[in-house]
Structure 1
Amino acid sequence: MSELKVLDHLMLADGELFHNSKGRACPAPRPLAPVADTHAHLGSLHGHDPALALARAALAGVRMMVVPIDPVAEFPRKWTDAAALWDFLDTHLAIARDCLDEAADLGFVPPAFDGWDAPGLLGNVRIVAGVHPYGAEGFDDAAEALMRELLASPRCVGVGEIGLDFGPYNEVSPREQEECFRRQLRMAHELGLPVELHIRDGVDDMVGEAHALAARVLAQEGVPEAGCDLHCFTSDTRIMEDFCRLGCSIAFGGASTFSRSEDIRDAARVCPERLMVTETDSPYMAPVPLRGEECEPAMVVFVADMLAREREAAGVAPAAQTYAALWRNACKLFGL
């Protein structure tokens, strides 16, 4: 790859990783500790090449990425079988390594984190596997067999994303969703794995029902001893507290940076330090100042920066303490 192509694909000639829709540079925050993207749909990117997204994430300071894989929605639409998925990951990781090597020759390298025993990102890309509530009707024996194959991989660190979605785009009945949710929770207990939850409330007369039912199911089935996180948290402090009492981690993403998301930031300021993690949910909900762009895993550094600044401004904890907690929590949640 020529010098021009390396710079064109990883960053522009100004050396900045991020630019808004008008081409203006949006300088990336410099993380005070390694950063984790605990939920990134690497196989769903459209405007970003997966390999280049991996390389850019590494250059931004990301040292862990967890990719959710859905045995109903993504097979065989994206991958024919588990072997095809592993080949997809291996191929893009190899290309990303080459890109980082060439970028290093040009003087661009991932940030160092002195005092942290954190692996490089490309050796720390993991998966979780689970059936999204959209696909609950398709969770048959074949899907379960594939899911178990994925969960048995050494790459796999959890079950997810699973849960309940009573939003306007899901036509699966609440009863079928709950049954699928419970089956997968039991698998997580059986295999000693943590879970990532997708919970979306409905509107009008169903406001709050998905979170209330999910909390009830977790109380009945038990939160897996290995852990649990509430993926893509977009609710308020009251709902956060319900899940924190159950021992669930709270995953903050791009939505927490939006101007109208003060409820989410209020929750972030008071969230127990031991229960906070970061994510992107790429390719969805790019954070400010890149809102409106396709989200990519590298953008998680803006989320971590916002959380650290908000908690420091509120007198909760110094920024460095929040950064350290976010990294340690992600490592603990996924046993890494």
Structure 2
Amino acid sequence: MDASQAVTAAPAAGDTASLSGLKFSKGHGTGNDFVLIADPNGALSLSPEQVAALCDRHRGIGGDGLIRAVPSRLLPEGQELLTAHPDAEWFMDYRNGDGSLSEMCGNGVRVFVHFLIAEGLVNLPAGESLVIGTRGGVKTIVRTAAGYAVDMGPWAFIFPGEATARAMDSLVSAEGLEVARPALSVSMGNPHTVVALAEMAELEATQLFTAPKVDPTPPHGTNVEFVVPSEPLVHDGTGTITMRVHERGVGETQSCGTGACAAAVAIRHWAGQGAPDAWNVHVPGGAVGVKFFVGPEGHEHVELSGPAVIVATGTLS
């Protein structure tokens, strides 16, 4: 089904009955998929139960999360950001598939901007940039020939003392792995814990139906990435890794943008001096690019690049 085709979806159980007539779009970034809703007047109030029902893959529209496009001035979080960034007109109100609030989503940012353009809410020619608000801070997005490139902002270790001293800060257990594996926890505005595996067979054997156990767990929970470095790791100045991810509040997803950034941060840290600034990250849903650069305030930032697709538009019956 392409973006020109409209569909009518029945509400999931009774949870979305009050949303009858609501217009929505369905989009994805490398398989990480979302229900998208435009709310230019800030009039829509969605309960966690309604979000979970909309994201239900059997009785709803289906998605890893839901994104509401709302003017920043109409949300307390957005109003805070506007003080320092008055050009952040639109806010990406992102919810996980279980209805819980999330700071942001790297793949979701690209799809969000693509949705704003498709809905005629912004005009963004190729090569130009747009500033948006998220619960993970303000993000700047550039439209490219192949999709969108997002300045994800600075990264940080969640447990900086442990990471600096030992290059790991936690142990992760998962179905399919015989023993717990050392890991490194990275913040990209949301929490991630990265595990390096030796070979693809280990990655394929790891079962992510249930959430991996992380000890210690970051204060607000964590997304967990299992990563296999390529051999050789670097080719023509670019590093390559392959990963799978279990997302907090969702489960295993086809892709995770902030997770790809966190995985590149961890592997680059472990690789040591001379590790490249450019990375290709392969996920089940495709591939994204990650690049490190020094931001305007002097801290190292991460750029995430990749495609965004609107699959369908419709109205809830």
Same fold (TM over 0.5): no
| TM value normalised by structure 1 | 0.25
TM-score (norm 2): 0.26
User: Higher helix share goes to which structure?
Assistant: 1
